[in-house]
Structure 1
Amino acid sequence: MDGSLDLATRDGLPEALRVLLAEMPRSGWQDHPEYGPLTQFWLERHLNFRRLLDLLQGDLTARVDGKLDPRDHAARLSRLGGMFLGELQQHHTIEDQVYFPKLAAHAPELARGFELLDADHHALHEELEGFATEANAVLRGEAAAPLEARVAQMHRFLDRHLTDEEEIVVPVILKVGEGHL
């Protein structure tokens, strides 16, 4: 994979992977005749991951600033962190094993894009392992600042990945139709 496409450094998709997005821009997705419950659910899952990460970040900042009791934070971190990790792992597994192969077969011109998304999932998996390790340290009573820094970095990585994934996947779904997936 081209180093300029690395999740840690890229700032968007290259033009070659934006061909369908150019035909079906984000602003028209909800009005497209093939926009249906699957696409809506999928985008809502992405929004939920962003929201969970926002909650985790806010709690960590409050904890580091002394505005959230460590016991209260531990309970929230355990619940929200577990939900975030479990649901994101499940989401990526379904995408990798079911949706990406089907979508790639319908849009061979975007094969490189699906390879990029797969590489993102591997990079994110490493970040999630680091998150789990540092979250467990916080739950054991260690400082929250390292986890706060990791979550800030993860926020950027995850948002970049989700945005790029949406810009590859949704236009393919709209092109093919949900009934063909």
Structure 2
Amino acid sequence: MNSFHFDNRTGLPEALRVLLEAHPRESWQADPNFHGLVSFWLERHMMFRQIMAHMQAETRAFLDAERDAARFAQGIARYGGMFVNQLHGHHQIEDQHYFPLLRTKDRRIETGFDLLDADHHALDGLLNRFVEQANGAIQAANGPDARTSAGALLTGLGDLERMIGRHLEDEEDLIVPIILKHGADPLG
């Protein structure tokens, strides 16, 4: 599955897009099974994207001298901690509850759950690197290495956004069509 690592993917492999073809993104909101679990789940994904964008904007503002060191450090600590904690919790619920139930719904896409599980394990390393970079930027915010540490954080956030973005999009393309087709009753 290494060729399917999220850093190498441009989308789900063709064999896993079978339900997405029957339930394309533009039809999701009109589906009667969209409201409830699917819309909540997509809102959580949007929250992760928004937090990453917010942290990037805060870091850019600090680098452009539009944000003082104390406010920058407080913001990164607050949003970074929330991001990591919420993402870990989200992945645990998916891995322990939703994915085992959903994987039995359509054998044609069962390997997609292995792909998503591999993503979750790989993302752990990226999140650990983010925590190190964020802590480094917070600790250095008032010191001579402030710009270097904040620059490293901004670069790391860009990498994280790209890789988590790839994972979230692929996860949505795999999971949402299953729920739209089969409903959310056993997942509730």
| TM-score using structure 2 length | 0.93
Aligned to 1:46: 45
Q: Supply the distance in 2 between the matched residues of 1:72 and 1:34 (Cα, whole angstroms).
A: 42
CA RMSD of aligned residues (A): 1.0
Paired residues of 1:131 and 1:147 also in contact (CA < 8 A): yes
Structure 2: tracts of 5 or more residues without a match: 141-145
Q: Secondary structure at the match of 2:114?
A: helix
Give the Cα separation in 1 of the matches to 2:79 and 2:38: 25
2:133 is aligned with 1:134: yes
1:108 and 1:116 map into 2 onto residues whose CA distance is 14
Asked whether the 8 Å contact 1:36–1:178 carries over to 2, the reply is no
3-state SS, counterpart of residue 9 of structure 2: coil
Q: What is the distance in 2 between the residues matched to 1:111 and 1:44?
A: 25
Percent of residue pairs bearing the same amino acid type = 44
Give the letter aligned to residue 73 of structure 1: F
How big is the shift at 1:137? Answer: 1.0
- What amino acid does structure 2 have at the position aligned with 1:10? R
In the TM superposition, what is the alpha-carbon distance from 1:78 to its structure 2 partner?
0.8
Normalised to the residue count of structure 1, the TM-score between the two structures is 0.96
Matches of 1:152 and 1:95 in 2, distance apart? Answer: 25
Alpha-carbon distance between aligned partners in 2 of 1:42 and 1:48, rounded to the nearest angstrom: 10
Residue 98 of structure 2 aligns with which residue?
A: 99
Q: 1:16-74 CA distances to partner (integer Å, 9 max, x unpaired)?
A: 01000000111111111222211110000000000000001111111122221111100
What is the count of residue pairs matched by the alignment? 180
- Other-structure match for 1:11: 10
How far off its partner does 1:75 sit? 0.7
1:147 matched to 2:153: yes
Give me the whole-angstrom Cα distance separating, in 2, the residues matched to 1:115 and 1:179: 23
Secondary structure (helix, strand or coil) at the match of 2:185 reads: helix
Gaps of 5+ in 1: none
Residues 1:164 and 2:163 aligned together: no
- How far apart are 1:156 and its partner, in Å? 0.4
Task: After TM superposition, give the deviation of residue 4 of structure 1 in Å.
Answer: 2.6
Cα displacement (A) at 1:111: 1.3
